[in-house]
Chains A and B, each alone.
Chain A
Amino acid sequence: MANVRLLDKRRKSIRNIRKITRTMELIATARFKKAMDRAAAANDYTQRITQIVRDLAGAGLEVSHPLLAGRPEVKSATVLLLTSNRGLCGGYNSSVLRQAMLRRAELNATNTGMKFEVSGKRGISAMKFRSVSIDQSYTHFEDKPAYEEVAVIADRLMSEFIAGKFDRLDVVYTQFVSVSKQIPQVETLLPFAQPATQGSTAESAGSTGVRADYEFLPSAESILEEVVPASFRVKLFKCFLDAAVSEQIARMVAMKSATENAGDIIKQLSRTYNRARQSRITQEIMEIIGGVEALEG
């Protein structure tokens, strides 16, 4: 019964692992709260810029911009994939990757040219494993993506789109809906969906607010020229924020279940350990009694 010591050793090592996973869970929880606050703080800007676009549309302005114009034929597409830099976050990366591979197969089927841009080490190594060539990769986005860093990418993408280097931009990321629901999805950001068309009908019907005649300085067209790129930048930034929040949630959940699982295993091992210990003691007693009996006899 030499495995008593072995069982004890295993139990100890699992206890250590549980300690680590619990710490990681706590860290993920703290980061999630911060990321969540950032995402909530960013909402204000989005709302106000949508309001401006709506007012522009309300002023009877024909909303047109090169970023809004759809291309009749999609000859080449750019796919931007947002993954995490670190692992141990459950199915977070694999579910985003699955979406990306599906989109890739779709594009391949229609013979569309493709460019892959990947953010996050996990995505990069997964793409390498699948021998997909990556055109651009970013690893500097952690749990707090900065607007300025995202804006650089957004500006480059916009100028390439306007120059006609690609006809569509798909962003594959995990959308944050609520704490218990995150959806990995593919969203087409370019050509840019007009933000006003999504909410305007519902909003204007319900709004009792002032339908004011705005004065536009210098002109409505000039403001539109600036508003569309700004809302695209903010939209892309929102994708990064959502991905960051979702990553922390995924890690939190994964580490929580790992901690629970470690607890279960410890319980099971303890039971086996106690049984083994008990049977060893019994056996030893039997041996002593046997010895005594032999002496007496």
Chain B
Amino acid sequence: MSEMQCVIVTPERTEVDVRATSVVLPLFDGEMGILSGHSPLVGRLGYGELRIKLADGVASRYFVEGGFVQVSGDVVSVLTDRLSDCTKIDRQSAEKALDAALSIPATKENAVARDRATSRARAMMRLVERK
């Protein structure tokens, strides 16, 4: 199977730079799979799980929190604010995040922050449920 380059960068550093056969991204409205030779694309990411399948069949999973993806030529660049290891997220921390998000008072000033926190927590919950 043909390969492509997959690069994940955060503002602090380049986290991942590998050759992959497929990448599954959490876009703002659902998952999207990208294989080699995909048409050029710029997309907005949501919260959720990102899966990279390497050439030797090994898959790695990450949790991304917003950002963008750019597909150009045979390079998939993912720009995200924060990247964490999927295995580090457990039910307890997800529930805690959801509780914290829901306890933000729903006022006009907090609307955006509350929205963001709840969707992040819900994405974490989804991830845990699937496990």
Contacts and interface: CB of A to CB of B under 8 A. Distances in A.
A112 B82 CA distance: 38
5 nearest interchain CB pairs? A41-B13, A212-B40, A217-B43, A147-B11, A45-B9
Given A49-B79, A52-B70, A230-B67, A215 B40 contact: yes
Interface of B: 7, 9-14, 27-29, 32, 39-44, 66-68, 70, 72-73, 77, 79, 81-82
8 contacts: A42-B11, A56-B42, A215-B39, A226-B44, A226-B68, A230-B67, A230-B68, A233-B11
Contacts, number: 84
Size bracket of the A interface: 20 to 34
Given A148-B82, A217-B27, A223 B13 contact: no
Contacts of A230: 67-68, 79, 81
A147 B10 CA distance: 9
Nearest to B13: A41
A213 interface: yes
B91 to A, nearest CB: 24
A75 to B, nearest CB: 23
B41 A151 contact: no
A223 B72 contact: no
A67 to B, nearest CB: 15
Interface residues of A, dominant DSSP: helix
A191 to B, nearest CB: 21
Given A52-B68, A148-B82, A41 B14 contact: yes
Nearest to A46: B11
B42 A215 contact: yes
Interface in A238-294: none
A218 B11 contact: no
Interface in A158-203: none
Nearest to A37: B13
Contacts of A38: 12-13
A216 interface: yes
Contact of B68 (A44, A148, A220, A227): A227
Contacts of B29: 218
A133 B12 CA distance: 33
A56 B40 CA distance: 12
B98 to A, nearest CB: 20
A130 interface: no
